[in-house]
């Protein structure tokens, strides 16, 4: 394990275009030596994560507006759902606000693309999790030409302004691209086909999307290049190895929560007087 913060190691530098074809999706940068060590290290983060979360929530009861928003993006089968289950599962569920974004509803299509996003933001003290996000509007929208190219091109700047305003309002935005390989996706889709209990997760549309792999990789590279900002950086997490993915996302959350450094607020009452009153009951 490296002493360098993981967020520095995985961060997409501002203005730089990552070459996803050159980032090994099975790599484990900065991570534990193997699966056993990785799982243990992730489990060991459960307590500090839950403790920081409780402080974050407690601070909000005294007016602290800070909160965290984890944005999860990645190709089909990249493990967005698994990350929520295994990483967000380490937290107290009552402080988590999870939103999964599907294809926009007719009502959502009537509004600007950030409308449904704004409605799902975490409140002060909460940890918000987006399983897909406003980035779909520059990913599938670009690849599938769901809007004129000029409109899509305008969205990157809109996203940057939006995320900057979030940061100014106390939201630590942690954007994670779960990077899996083309071969690994095939294996995972085949595994779904081979297990009837997983058929509900499979759709023939998944194969159609897979055929557009190069276009998606390009759209991701563009989004990572244009929208990795100081206010809201992107992190590329190699995700072929699930144990590394879970460890890395946990670690990124831990580093960000430690940076926030929330503190329990003091009480606004006289402890001795309250004690006496209680003991008299």
- Concatenated DSSP letters of the chain: --SS-HHHHHB--TT----GGGS-TT--TT--SSHHHHHHHHHHHHHHHHHHHHHHHHHHTTT---EEEEEEEESTTSSHHHHHHHTGGGS-GGGEEEEE--SPPHHHHTS-TTHHHHHTPPPTT-EEEEES-GGGGGTHHHHTT-S-HHHHHHHHHHHHHHHHHHHHTTEEEEEEEEE--HHHHHHHHHHHHH-GGGGGG--HHHHHHHTTHHHHHHHHHHHHHHH--SSS-EEEEE-SSHHHHHHHHHHHHHHHHHHH---PPPPSS-HHHHHHHHHT-
Q: Which stretch binds a second copy (CB under 8 A): 4-12, 93-101, 234-242, 246-254?
A: 93-101
Q: Is 186 in the site for a second copy (CB under 8 A)?
A: yes
DSSP state of 170: T
Give the nearest distance from C-beta 88 to a second copy in angstroms: 5
User: Among residues 193, 214, 258, 259, which is the contact residue for a second copy, using CB under 8 A?
Assistant: 193
Q: Is 34 in the site for a second copy (CB under 8 A)?
A: no
User: Among residues 81, 154, 214, 261, which is the contact residue for a second copy, using CB under 8 A?
Assistant: 81
Burial label for 277, CB within 10 Å (0-12, 13-18, 19+), is exposed
Q: Is 63 in the site for a second copy (CB under 8 A)?
A: no
Rounded (to 5) percent helix, strand, coil in the chain: 55, 10, 35
Instruction: Show the binding pattern over residues 194-233: x = contacts a second copy (CB under 8 A), - = does not.
Output: --xx-xxxxxx--x--xx----------------------
Q: Which stretch binds a second copy (CB under 8 A): 6-14, 26-34, 55-63, 245-253?
A: 55-63
Give the nearest distance from C-beta 89 to a second copy in angstroms: 6
Q: Is 269 in the site for a second copy (CB under 8 A)?
A: yes
Q: Is 93 in the site for a second copy (CB under 8 A)?
A: yes
> Which residue, 126 or 240, is less far from a second copy as judged by CB?
126
Give the nearest distance from C-beta 152 to a second copy in angstroms: 26
> Which residue, 15 or 63, is less far from a second copy as judged by CB?
63
Q: Is 103 in the site for a second copy (CB under 8 A)?
A: no
Q: Which residue has the tokens 């107290």?
A: 92
Q: What are phi and psi of 73, to 5 degrees?
A: -130, 160
Give the nearest distance from C-beta 200 to a second copy in angstroms: 4
User: Among residues 9, 98, 140, 215, which is the contact residue for a second copy, using CB under 8 A?
Assistant: 98
User: Among residues 9, 20, 100, 217, which is the contact residue for a second copy, using CB under 8 A?
Assistant: 100
Q: Is 84 in the site for a second copy (CB under 8 A)?
A: yes
Judged by the rule CB under 8 A, the positions of this chain that interact with a second copy are 58, 61-62, 81, 84-85, 88-89, 91-94, 96, 98, 100, 131, 186, 189-190, 193, 196-197, 199-204, 207, 210-211, 264-267, 269, 271, 274-275, 277-279, 281
């Amino acid at each position: 394990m490296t002493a360098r913060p993981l967020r520095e190691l995985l961060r997409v530098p501002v203005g730089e275009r990552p070459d996803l074809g050159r980032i090994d999706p099975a790599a484990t940068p900065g991570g534990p030596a193997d699966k056993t060590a990785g799982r243990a290290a992730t489990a060991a983060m459960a307590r500090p994560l839950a403790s920081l979360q409780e402080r974050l929530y407690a601070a909000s009861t005294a007016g602290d507006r800070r909160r965290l928003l984890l944005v999860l993006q990645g190709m089909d089968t990249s493990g967005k759902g698994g990350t929520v289950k295994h990483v967000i599962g380490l937290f107290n569920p009552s402080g988590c606000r999870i939103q999964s974004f599907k294809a926009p509803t007719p009502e959502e299509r009537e509004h600007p693309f950030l409308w449904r996003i704004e409605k799902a933001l975490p409140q002060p003290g909460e940890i918000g999790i987006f399983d897909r996000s406003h980035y779909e509007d520059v990913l599938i929208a670009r690849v599938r030409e769901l809007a004129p190219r000029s409109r899509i091109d305008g969205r990157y700047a809109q996203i940057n302004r939006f995320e900057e305003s979030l940061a100014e309002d106390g939201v630590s935005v942690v954007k994670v691209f779960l990077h899996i390989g083309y071969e690994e996706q095939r294996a995972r889709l085949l595994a779904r086909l081979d297990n009837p209990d997983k058929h509900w997760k499979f759709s023939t549309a998944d194969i159609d999307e897979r055929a557009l792999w190069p276009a998606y990789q390009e759209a991701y590279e563009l989004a990572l290049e244009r929208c990795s900002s100081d206010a809201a950086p992107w992190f590329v997490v190699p995700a072929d190895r699930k144990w590394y993915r879970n460890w890395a996302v946990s670690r990124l959350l831990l580093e960000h929560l430690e940076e926030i450094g929330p503190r329990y607020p003091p009480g606004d009452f006289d402890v001795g007087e309250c004690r006496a009153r209680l003991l008299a009951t």
